[in-house]
Amino acid sequence: MLTNLLAWIDERFPLTKVWNEHLAEYYTPKNFNFWYFFGSLAMLVLVIQILSGLFLAMHYKPDTGLAFASVEYIMRDVEWGWLIRYMHSTGSSAFFIVVYLHMFRGLLYGSYRGPRELIWLIGMVIFVALMATAFLGYLLPWGNMSYWGAQVIISLFDAIPFVGPSLAEWLRGDFVVSDATLNRFFALHFFIPVIILPALVFVHIVALHKVGSSNPDGIEIKKKKGPDGKPLDGIPFHPYFTVKDIAGVAVFLMFFSAVLFFAPELGGWFLEPDNFVPANILQTPTEIVPLWYFTPFYSILRAVTTDMMRFGLLPFMAVVGGLAIYSVRDMMMRAVVAGATAAILLGLFMMEAKIWGVIMMGLSIVLFFLLPWLDRSPVKSIRYRGWMYKTALTLFSVSFVILGYLGTKSPEAISLFLMKNVYWVQIFTIVYFAFFLFMPWYTTLDKTKPVPERVTP
């Protein structure tokens, strides 16, 4: 009976074919380790966010006079409303934790390298869409930090020459963040994660299944096939990785629930005290800071001062430009690189620090897109790379964490030691960019180890 039904469907829809191609006969490297849990976990969190968000939207009111109260209404009067709200607020931070670890896996094992450049690019688009979603959603509770955070970030567009101010006004729908802004943010906060994100995730996975998964050794399992035509080091995704990922989901949900039930504010890191004060146009919070997942980039924005441009960025860009001019052999290309370097250096002289802050913040994300082409190493995985890449990745990770931490603090305070936060932030901003901009050279010079033929356990 069921077989007949399946045959009936298969004649009309490739159900068995899809099942086999993407699950039962999708051959996956058997040496996946800890770092390979985070892709499936990111999908899980997306589902959690969409479902909890759907139920929140049934009770939330996108109106400056009602928004804050409607969130408290959800927390108090809606059955299980507090649980749904905390699932969503904890989920947003969990989403970034999982996605950052997923991206870090890419840096560890060179997952972005050919032939997987497109998977990486689509993934980066997902990351940008995720950031947009989080930013939009953060305004909705209409707390004071919601309000001032949106105010600060949208006013960044003012820095764009000529069109900036009118663009910022167009985005807000008003001269300040207002009811019009809240309403459109609500609409977009529904549209992007519910329509755009799942579509992008779908494309991300289609691209992945076209070339096959990479692995901690960074070798292609498709190159070594048995007589049956199946990769020797591959095992079907289903049931092997479905059961493995279920165990991973259990562990993840334990961490998730521990935060959700016992510390949903996580000491101000997941829900800020200032956001329990309704939005107030007349009263700015002591320190306007975004939530932790944006603070590395926010730090870079705040790092760029006039002094930083003169004594930090200018020499740094001169060295990068000089190296690039020296390394390019083709005379035409050399002229182009020299022109670009001159334009950047001139820009650092001519344009204000505020504009460069925005440019550097944008660049700190754009550079991730270029990783597949910046990395010139003959090997993919960190297991076979030399000390240079290992050092660079360590420094980059440290700078990301410190920029993130100091992004929550006042630039004038001393939160680490010796110096004001702003100086540490400026140093680590240079380290952050050095990781990307010097990558073509240190990955070329780095002494690599021979890569094995088959995967190692």
Partner 1 sequence: MKKLLILLSLAAMPVAGFAAGGEHAKLDAVKIDLSDKTSLQRGARIFVNYCLSCHSAAYMRYNRMGKDLGISEELVKDNLLFAADKVGDLMKAVMPAEEAKAAFSTVPPDLSVIARARKPAWLYTYMRSFYRDDKAPSGWNNTVFPHVAMPHVLYEWQGHQRAIFKQDGAFERFELVRPGSMSTEDYDKAMRDLINFLVYLGEPAKLERYQLGVWVLLFLAVFFVFAYLLKKEYWKDVH
List residues near partner 1 by CB under 8 A.
30, 69, 72-73, 75-77, 82-83, 86, 235, 239-240, 243-244, 246-247, 249-251, 253-254, 257-258, 260-269, 272-274, 276-278, 286, 408
Which residue's CB is nearer to partner 1, number 164 or number 264? 264
Shortest CB 283 distance to partner 1, Å: 10
Which residue's CB is nearer to partner 1, number 173 or number 278? 278
Rounded (to 5) percent helix, strand, coil in the chain: 70, 0, 25
Shortest CB 247 distance to partner 1, Å: 4
Residue 237 CB partners (closer than 8 Å, separation 6+): 22, 23, 24, 26, 27, 28
Distance, CA of 35 to CA of 238 (rounded, Å): 19
Which residue's CB is nearer to partner 1, number 245 or number 375? 245
Which residue's CB is nearer to partner 1, number 269 or number 438? 269
Cis bond upstream, residue 165 (ω within 30): no
Residue ranges of E strands in 237-383: none
Which residue's CB is nearer to partner 1, number 77 or number 307? 77
Shortest CB 243 distance to partner 1, Å: 5
Shortest CB 75 distance to partner 1, Å: 7
Nearest residue to 279 (alpha-carbon basis) of 69, 136, 56: 69
What is the torsional sign of CA 416, 421, 425, 426? negative
Shortest CB 52 distance to partner 1, Å: 15
Shortest CB 228 distance to partner 1, Å: 16
Q: Which residue has the tokens 């007589």?
A: 227
Q: Which two tokens stand for residue 238?
A: 């289903």
Range 135-138 contact pairs with CB under 8 angstroms and sequence separation of 24 or more? 135/290, 135/294, 136/185, 136/186, 136/188, 136/189, 136/192, 137/92, 137/185, 137/189, 138/290, 138/291
The secondary element (H helix, E strand) that includes residue 235 is strand 234-236
Which residue's CB is nearer to partner 1, number 104 or number 269? 269
Shortest CB 211 distance to partner 1, Å: 23
Which residue's CB is nearer to partner 1, number 23 or number 382? 23
